[in-house]
Amino acid sequence: MSITVAKTAGFCFGVRRAVELAERQAQANGVIYAYGEIIHNMHEIARLERQGVRTAHTLQEIPDGAKVLIRAHGVPRWVYQMLQEKNCEVFDATCPFVQKIHRIVDEQSREGRHILILGSAGHPEVVGIQGWCGGSDVLENEAQVRAYLDRPDSTERTLAVVAQTTVNRNLWNISVGLIKKRCTNLKIFDTICKATDERQSEARLLAGASDQMIVIGDKKSSNTKRLYEISRTLCNNVLYIEDAAELTTQGLRRNGRVGITAGASTPAWIIKEVSNMMSEETKIENGEDFAAMLEES
C-alpha cells in the first residue's frame, strides 16, 4: 500500500492566522474570547481552550471590556458595533479574502444591487456576508439557482453575485452560466478562495488516482464536506473521519493506493496522527507529484 498526503491538506492561510493570533493574545493576556468557534474542529478548540481561548457562542457570554477575537469567517457589521458598546478590545482575524467580499457586497448594495450569495445558508461566513449587504438571497445548489431565476422579479433586478469562499467550483460555474443567460443587469465577483480551488483540484487529482480516499475534518466543516463530495465522484471508497480514532472502526484498505486530504480547519497534528496510524510498511509520499501536476495544469 502507498499513501499520498495532499500537499494542500490542513490549515489554510486564514485559519492559521486566526489560530496564531488567538494563541498570542491568550499568552499575553491570560484569556481571550473567540466570538463563535474559532475553527470547525473540536480537538483544536479544546487545545486552544487549555491555552485560555474561550469560545463565546453569543455576545451575552462576553463580559464587558473583554478581549475578543473575530474568527476567520468574519461577522456582520452590527457585531462590531455591539462589541464597541461593550467596550471590548477587538482582535480581528477575519480572513482578508472574506473582508474583500464584505467590501464588495457593501459597495454593490449601496449602488442598489440585490446580492446573490452562492453558499450554505446559515454558515457563519455567509451570515457574516449578509450582515454587510442590503437585500440578499443565498443559493445553495443548482436547483435553488433555477428556482430563483423562475421567480418573476428575479430577472428585473440589478444583481451582484458573489461566492462563499469555499464553494464548489463546479457549482459556481454552472450557476453563473444559468444566471448570465437570464439576467442582463448583472455583476459577477468570483470570490472563491484560491486555497479552496487548489485544495479541491488536488483532491480531484488524488481521488482519481487512488483506490481509497481518506478525508479528515470536522463534520461541521463545509470545506471538508466539499472535499468529501468531490472525492466521492472520483473514487468509490471514501472515508470521512474526524480523527485517527475513527480509523479503527472503519474499513481501512490494506493494499493499493490511499490518498489523504483534509479541510482547511484540520490541524497538522491530526493529519499526522492519521498517517502514523497506517501500516509500518506503508510508503508515505508527500504529495509533491500532485502539486507539480497542479502547477502544470
By the rule CB under 6 A, 227 interacts with ligand F3S: no
Q: How far is the CB of 198 from ligand F3S (least distance, A)?
A: 10
Total Cβ atoms within 10 A of residue 174: 15
Q: How far is the CB of 85 from ligand F3S (least distance, A)?
A: 27
What is the C-alpha to C-alpha distance for residues 148 and 290, in angstroms, rounded to an integer?
A: 38
Nearer to ligand F3S (CB atom), residue 14 or residue 128: 14
What is the C-alpha to C-alpha distance for residues 145 and 147, in angstroms, rounded to an integer?
A: 5
By the rule CB under 6 A, 32 interacts with ligand F3S: no
One residue of 12, 145, 161, 176 binding ligand F3S per CB under 6 A: 12
Rounded to whole angstroms, the maximal C-alpha distance in the chain is 63
Residue window 154-183: x/- pattern of binding to ligand F3S, with contact defined by CB under 6 A: -----------xx-----------------
Instruction: Tell the residue number behind the cell numbers 430577472, with chain if given.
Output: 155
One residue of 79, 264, 270, 271 binding ligand F3S per CB under 6 A: 264
By the rule CB under 6 A, 189 interacts with ligand F3S: no
Q: How far is the CB of 185 from ligand F3S (least distance, A)?
A: 28
First to last CA, the chain: 27
Nearer to ligand F3S (CB atom), residue 128 or residue 259: 128
Q: How far is the CB of 262 from ligand F3S (least distance, A)?
A: 13
Nearer to ligand F3S (CB atom), residue 15 or residue 159: 15
Ranked by CB distance to ligand F3S, the top (closest) residue is 14
One residue of 4, 196, 200, 275 binding ligand F3S per CB under 6 A: 196
Cell of 218: 470536522
Instruction: Tell the residue number behind the cell numbers 479503527, with chain if given.
Output: 248
The residue type of 112 is: G
Residues 46-105 that bind ligand F3S (CB under 6 A): 72, 95, 97-98
Q: How far is the CB of 57 from ligand F3S (least distance, A)?
A: 20
The catalytic residue positions are 125
**Are the C-beta atoms of 264 and 216 separated by less than 8 Å?**
no
- 235 appears as a binding residue in the annotation: no
Measuring CA to CA, which residue among 68, 7, 18 is closest to residue 195?
Answer: 7
**Are the C-beta atoms of 40 and 120 separated by less than 8 Å?**
no
Question: What CA–CA distances, in Å, run from 130 to 80, 123, 134, 138, 265?
Answer: 14, 11, 8, 9, 22
Task: Select from 12-20, 43-51, 227-235, 244-252 the region that touches ligand F3S (CB under 6 A).
Answer: 12-20
Measuring CA to CA, which residue among 229, 265, 262 is closest to residue 47?
Answer: 265
- 123 appears as a binding residue in the annotation: yes
**Are the C-beta atoms of 227 and 204 separated by less than 8 Å?**
no
Question: What CA–CA distances, in Å, run from 232 to 26, 228, 281?
Answer: 40, 6, 27
Task: Select from 10-18, 109-117, 172-180, 268-276 the region that touches ligand F3S (CB under 6 A).
Answer: 10-18
Binding residues: 12, 40, 73, 95, 123, 165, 193, 221-223, 265
Positions that interact with ligand F3S (CB under 6 A): 12-15, 72, 95, 97-98, 165-166, 193, 195-196, 264
